[in-house]
Structure 1
């Protein structure tokens, strides 16, 4: 989540709070014939944003990136992407080095373990409203830069989690606020075992150039550069019962947040269903929009309209899937670039090269070499 929210990735379950997706085990090998998972990759801008605290505090940024198997050279490629595992490893590194669950973004660190402590209090609550008020009250004891509060409209119809700023505006504070509401939304969804529909999202952060993942994460309109950061939703959701207990919390903390938003966000939208279906057809010609509509028992017009409502396009879903799987496959030393091209349905390697450079800003060979340089340079 940058000045925008991020798609999830996981971190090992040490109760350390924010982290994204499954982490690739160090030194693990993957058979070349094993299909690459269709996990979303993460824009390099998010990597830049999450390093703001480290830069502010004078840490060696290149050393931090290398410990996460991310080539520092990728920061110079605006279209570059990293895997969820790389991003998760970076979060783990920042948390461990800085001893801060918000990665040096605020003047006062959030001590590792606070996230787990708050979650233990939430599962004892009866309703979602009780849980939200409890969680925000506890976090106000650990964060000075903003005060998170729940507001319910006078007519009782709408509600909002609002972060009231208590420190001067800065890029670091804005990113910390976006991070906070991203994870708050994730925890709320887990507590009620389902996604809470948002009516709108307001972020104090400025919008980044180009398309970000924020709308895909929140599935609603996002306004940037706002006076306060806030999540707005139907107040009826506050009456939902908390569905989790101490036993499910242990599992949650072990996995957090590897499968959280994948479970409660991605699988519920049409674009993600299409993406999963296309994943099984990558090695050949992908279905046309008309063919996909027929398989989903929709008219082409309805499919276009529903994707448009989600802010997506059919061609972009196909391109993004191929890009994400290509990046994942290139982490496998046993696969040549020609192998990757063929597995993605490109009849000519040159066509794959052109497509990959369009997706990421660099040719696939150069992209792989940058990653190899990151792995071969000893971490500081």
Structure 2
């Protein structure tokens, strides 16, 4: 499960190659560098590793010298993100990060307009393309919104919990993948493309430094497509255990502590010091596994409920609706219709 959870739908490689085709790049060179065969590329039901997708994106960036894949009204030369990142790393808090990030791209490139708004207790970071027709498969909008969430989260050392995400385009055929990218209610055909989160986190200070940023940029973009690396040590160890355990339903803090060669009391204390709780971590893994299982069609909703350790299907239904804003049946039917 751990490997599958962090795999990426071939659909994203397919639409990235479509962008490369519009840029008249050498497709064989791109596929060879990514380690993807032409035959596999055309099978949209397959999945690839984050490393493969990262290498494909790096190759497109290198050959096109455009970090926007040709989907912007103006080319964004390779290295622009790194320049922006080296500016925002000296910010005092998350609010400053979003302000500087917006200012950089708004001045540097006419392809998009970024804006941070605070309305009541909600912060909204919106993005508008000057020419959306250049992004026909919504690749640039999906990638950049993911980046505007995960990179700032890494900077402050904690995931920015999203209340909802909106997109200014119709629901794409691969919308199930968006639930893995943004584990929150997602709405399409909205007035703007936007991240919405609790405004209180804007005061969170940065924990990363120029030194850690240098390593982060060396690994980019692979870390943006996997579980963010900012989890503290014991939180990460618990997550690694839960994601790879054979029977998540039977996982308890006692059994997990034993696997990690700790006492239950010690593990609770370590997690508490990191601002984590075992049940919250387990529920997060449950959420991602539920989304994965319901994106496939081989496991029924009842089987999924049992696999994840819910007492009955109705409890699972309530939890899934809270996680995604949808009923499991609705989500499963949409997956079936895409097959």
TM-score normalised to structure 1 length: 0.61
**Who is 1:216 aligned against?**
180
- Shift in Å at residue 128 of structure 1? 1.2
**Who is 1:55 aligned against?**
21
Q: 2:35 aligns with which of 57, 66, 69?
A: 69
Q: 1:158 to 1:243 in 2, by over 3 A?
A: same
The 3-state SS of whatever aligns with 1:233 is strand
Q: 1:130 to 1:265 in 2, by over 3 A?
A: closer
1:313 to 2:272 alignment: no
Q: 1:76 to 1:112 in 2, by over 3 A?
A: closer
Q: 1:207 to 1:275 in 2, by over 3 A?
A: farther
**Who is 2:94 aligned against?**
128
- Shift in Å at residue 251 of structure 1? 2.5
**Who is 1:93 aligned against?**
59
- Shift in Å at residue 42 of structure 1? 1.2
Alignment of 1:163-174 (within 5 A): 163-172=127-136, 174=138
The separation in 1 between residues aligned to 2:60 and 2:178, in whole angstroms, is: 22
Listed one character per residue, the Cα deviations across residues 250-298 of structure 1 (whole Å, up to 9, x for unaligned) are: 2322233444652358999x9x96774463x6xxxx43x543469469x
The separation in 1 between residues aligned to 2:288 and 2:210, in whole angstroms, is: 38
1:230 to 2:207 alignment: no
Q: Which runs of 5+ in 2 are unaligned?
A: 258-278, 298-339
The separation in 2 between residues aligned to 1:101 and 1:41, in whole angstroms, is: 22
The CA RMSD measured in Å over matched residues stands at 3.6
Listed one character per residue, the Cα deviations across residues 284-336 of structure 1 (whole Å, up to 9, x for unaligned) are: xx43x543469469xxxx99x9479826439939x99xxxxxxxxxxxxxxxx
The separation in 2 between residues aligned to 1:86 and 1:246, in whole angstroms, is: 27
The separation in 1 between residues aligned to 2:199 and 2:98, in whole angstroms, is: 12
The separation in 2 between residues aligned to 1:235 and 1:62, in whole angstroms, is: 46
Q: 1:182 aligns with which of 140, 146, 162?
A: 146
Q: 1:149 to 1:296 in 2, by over 3 A?
A: same
Matched positions, count? 270
Contact 2:112/2:127 (8 A) holds in 1: yes
In proportion to residue count, which structure has more helix? 2
Q: Name the structure, 1 or 2, with higher relative contact order (CA <8 Å, separation 6+).
A: 1
Alignment of 1:103-182 (within 5 A): 103-153=69-119, 155=120, 157-172=121-136, 174-182=138-146
Q: Which runs of 5+ in 1 are unaligned?
A: 1-35, 321-380
Contact 1:148/1:161 (8 A) holds in 2: yes
The separation in 1 between residues aligned to 2:45 and 2:287, in whole angstroms, is: 22
The 3-state SS of whatever aligns with 1:132 is helix
Listed one character per residue, the Cα deviations across residues 217-245 of structure 1 (whole Å, up to 9, x for unaligned) are: 32211122333210001111111112233
1:41 to 2:41 alignment: no
